[in-house]
Structure 1
């Protein structure tokens, strides 16, 4: 295996892990990094989706005590059953819409203008969400969420099918606008990511298996490992960060990144089409 290709896979893994759970769109950053590294093509698209699984393993590790206690208490605890039910309810809308419209969205919405617009608009939505009064918060903990709360956050997650929106951004900020505290929205976003990203990775690998061979295993392993390590560090940092900070810096970053998309698309540096 080409050592340079493995190095590129490691860099892409780091980019995935650092951006997957922040409200800044991992997809947009992977496209930018892939274009700069020359890591593009159909196989690269499968790689980008598959290495999300490494990031999810990091979430499972960070939340292992909560996940373990929930599964152990499932037969006897109403709270445990409600959390599992909420995750399932939140997960289903994305499954239905992805199967129905995923290909159309990929073909028609992945344009520089759409990506830049969603980055910039998402930034302003975050600024709006962070300016809401504290009295609008009605759900302090993920354990206090109702199935209707979960469904609404699940519908918000569907917005992330539009390139540049950010799955984490849609679920966290959507949750906050729906009355969840910053901590509750972030926790539920992470729990919801587990079935969503694992499902997307497995489906992509199965669907595009004709593009892959045994020779690709080292490439994917390197991407998964570096995605896991960087995501583990990022998730731990983010949970500490939100305890005393807002998402406002990410809003301004999104706006700046949207401008970068426009500039790179206009100059021809990055081929954002068909990504």
Structure 2
């Protein structure tokens, strides 16, 4: 492991941790930053899979009490059963579409220009969702109906397009369909666990063979860094939404997306992973 490899792993781990659970698209940021670092290929894909597990572990740790309570209550607790049912309902639409179209999406849409476009469009949608009349019907994840879960699951499918943001799609979907900010955000966190574990297993089966024993140091740096910064992001986001809307993330998305598009149009940066659009 060279110093350059360690720095790349550190940077990408920070990016993953800070962006995975906020509505700015972690995949989009990873694509852009990896392109700038010239960090590509099958190993890069496998590396991203590993550091995503670090981010997921942060949510599992933060909500370990509720997770244990739900698992222990599954045999007899109707509330735990309803929560698990809603989680599975929301989980499966993205699984089905992901299995059908993942390779096509990765081949044609995993590039900085697609990401930038999706960032801008997603930012505008967040602004619209925040300005509309928001009537709260569910103040907690326990008050969700199965139909709410299905709608949020369908919204999550939009995140198959890099730059859209899985958390952004599910949180905004929750707000639009009558959930409070806290409830929508927490359900997005919980939904990330099976969704990202499923995606990780799928990608690892495809690209795990590229990992070698000598890569352990790089992977460890990315994994630990992702865990630490994801923990910071999750706790910070929950505090932030208690007093603020998601508009600031929308403006960040729009500004960042327009900047990337400007660098492309004016030739300031050679986005080498851009495909023919």
By the TM > 0.5 criterion, same fold? Answer: yes
* Partner of residue 56, structure 2: 56
What whole-Å deviation, never above 9, does each CA across 1:157-179 have from its counterpart, x for those lacking one? Answer: 01000111000001101111111
* Partner of residue 25, structure 2: 25
Distance 1:194 1:21 in 2: 11
Deviation at 1:85, TM superposition (A): 1.1
* Partner of residue 69, structure 2: 69
SS in 1 for 2:138: coil
Deviation at 1:113, TM superposition (A): 4.4
- C-alpha contact 1:50 1:204 (8 A) present in aligned 2: no
Alignment of 1:75-114 (within 5 A): 75-114=75-114
Aligned Cα root-mean-square deviation (Å): 1.5
Structure 2 unaligned runs (5+)?
none
* Partner of residue 161, structure 1: 160
- C-alpha contact 2:28 2:112 (8 A) present in aligned 1: no
Deviation at 1:108, TM superposition (A): 2.5
Deviation at 1:111, TM superposition (A): 4.7
Structure 1 unaligned runs (5+)?
none
Distance 1:225 1:270 in 2: 29
Inter-CA distance 111–6: structure 2 relative to 1 (3 Å threshold): closer
* Partner of residue 199, structure 2: 200
Alignment of 1:135-150 (within 5 A): 136-150=135-149
- C-alpha contact 2:46 2:211 (8 A) present in aligned 1: no
- C-alpha contact 2:32 2:112 (8 A) present in aligned 1: no
| Runs (4+) off by over 6 Å | none
SS in 2 for 1:208: helix
* Partner of residue 232, structure 2: 233
What whole-Å deviation, never above 9, does each CA across 1:203-254 have from its counterpart, x for those lacking one? Answer: 2112112322121122112111100000001101101111111000001001
SS in 2 for 1:250: helix
User: Taking structure 1 as the reference length, what is the TM-score of the superposition?
Assistant: 0.94
Distance 1:187 1:84 in 2: 14
- C-alpha contact 1:127 1:251 (8 A) present in aligned 2: yes
Distance 2:59 2:111 in 1: 31
Distance 1:228 1:221 in 2: 11
- C-alpha contact 1:265 1:272 (8 A) present in aligned 2: no
User: Taking structure 2 as the reference length, what is the TM-score of the superposition?
Assistant: 0.94
* Partner of residue 272, structure 2: 271
- C-alpha contact 2:59 2:234 (8 A) present in aligned 1: yes
* Partner of residue 38, structure 1: 38
- C-alpha contact 1:51 1:201 (8 A) present in aligned 2: no
